[in-house]
Amino acid sequence: YVVDKGNHRHFMEKEIYEQPEVISHALSHYMNFAENTIGANAPEIDFRAVSSLAVSACGTAYLAGLIGKYWFERYARLPVEIDVASEFRYREMPLQPSQAALFISQSGETADTLASLRYCKENGLKIGAVVNVQESTIARESDAVFPIMAGPEIGVASTKAFTCQLAVLASLAIGAGKARGTVSADEEKALVRQLAEMPRIMSRVLNLVQPQMESLSRELSKCRDVLYLGRGTSFPLAMEGALKLKEISYIHAEGYAAGELKHGPIALIDENMPVIVIAPYDRFFEKTVSNMQEVAARGGRIIFITDEAGAAASKLPTMATIALPNVPEIIAPMIFSLPIQLLAYHTAVFMGTDVDQPRNLAKSVTVE
């Protein structure tokens, strides 16, 4: 069927604003909201018996996998080995049939991801696929398919597929934790309740941050380089922010673990360098603020993406502070994705690039 832009200027904008709705589809596929339980287990993969998880994907799907790693290790106490598919397939890593493998792909057709999947299959691993296109090759060749329910994604820059991948990975990690006895029934209920709140909070945040992101994009469009920093699950998010900006605005951007700042990138900081710091008020907050201090001391211009508690706790001067509502830790990566996507989107629109079809990029990379 034909997908149109509705009232939006670009598919990317439409897809950003669809997130509250599609996330709610993704969540209801894996959760029972009447009982606040997760049903994310597929009989094909017995998480109780799995010794570790091998995860592979490309681009944005890989960054979703990196956030998933934090969740699987924390909630299911399951070690995760993750790599970009183009490395994974050639590393000749030793694999055991007691491991399970998870492949994440919006299209389900990415050549390197598919080759990694076949490599794991040959080694006797059970295969799970987190995909958007359920008829895809990756879905067909997997033992268990975990659909992300995002609906067709047309914009080359992935937005709603990313947050839906995260919602599914969170569900799988909690489900695996439940099966392995590392998530109690009470914890499961609390986490499901927190996830259930997400669509409502997403709608609120999209409206809240849009004007600020649009005005900031004018500043950003004048820059040659931008640095994104974060810790914990905000580290992969920093890389995702940088990827989104470079894909559609062609501004050079890097995402770094905040703790790595002093191991190199700090040399780049001057008064022309915007540094986007992603820091919810979590257990990493103080550490990230101390990195921010190092940026401020060198005249770097800080765009501080935090929450109300974080904005109140830091007194550092910033170029802009974006204060999102305080949200539970499990949903923070999805909520914090929204200002990041909008900032890249508005910067690209302001610069007049071809937002939905950026130069040199294809929606689905079916060649190596």
Say how far apart CA 11 and CA 25 lie, in whole Å.
19
The single residue among 52, 353, 357, 364 that binds ligand AGP, judged by CB under 6 A, is 364
User: Which residue of 24, 106, 233, 347 would you call a contact of ligand AGP, by CB under 6 A?
Assistant: 106
User: Among 137, 159, 142, 161, which residue's Cα sits nearest to residue 151?
Assistant: 161
Amino acid at 41: N
Tell me if 147 contacts ligand AGP by CB under 6 A.
Answer: no
DSSP string, 4-69: --TT-SSHHHHHHHTHHHHHHHHHHHHEETTTTEE----TTS-TTT---EEEEE-HHHHHHHHHHH
CB of 157 to ligand AGP, least distance (A): 4
Stretch of 99-107, 231-239, 259-267, 276-284 contacting ligand AGP, by CB under 6 A: 99-107
Site for ligand AGP in 221-260 (CB under 6 A): 247
Query: What are 30's two structure tokens?
Result: 């894996």
Largest CA distance in the chain: 55
Pick between residue 251 and residue 261 the one whose CB is nearest to ligand AGP. 251
User: Position 325: which residue type?
Assistant: P
Please, are residues 27 and 196 in contact by the beta-carbon 8 Å criterion? yes
Number of residues that bind ligand AGP (CB under 6 A): 16
User: Among residues 223 and 365, whose Cβ is nearest to ligand AGP?
Assistant: 365
The token pair that represents 112 in the structure block = 């390197």
**Toward ligand AGP, which CB reaches closer, 126 or 160?**
160
Asked if 168 interacts with ligand AGP (CB under 6 A), we say: no
Answer left, alpha or beta for residue 360, where phi above 0 means left and psi between -120 and 50 means alpha.
left
CB of 11 to ligand AGP, least distance (A): 12
State yes or no: is 189 an active-site residue.
no
Cβ 339 to ligand AGP, closest distance in Å? Answer: 16
**CA distance readout (Å), 295 to 182, 216, 272:** 39, 19, 12
Minimum distance of ligand AGP from residue 13's CB (angstroms): 15
Q: Is 199 in the site for ligand AGP (CB under 6 A)?
A: no
Q: Which stretch, 25-33, 55-63, 184-192, 296-304, contacts ligand AGP (CB under 6 A)?
A: 55-63
C-alpha to C-alpha distance for 54 and 94, rounded to whole angstroms = 11
- Tokens of residue 231, six digits: 């810790």
Closer of 60 and 288 to ligand AGP (Cβ): 60
Side chain identity at residue 260, one-letter code: E
The nearer residue to ligand AGP, 56 or 217, going by C-beta atoms, is 56
3-state secondary structure of 230: strand
- For ligand AGP, the binding residues (CB under 6 A) are 58-61, 105-107, 110, 113, 156-158, 247, 361, 364-365
Q: Which residues are catalytic?
A: 363
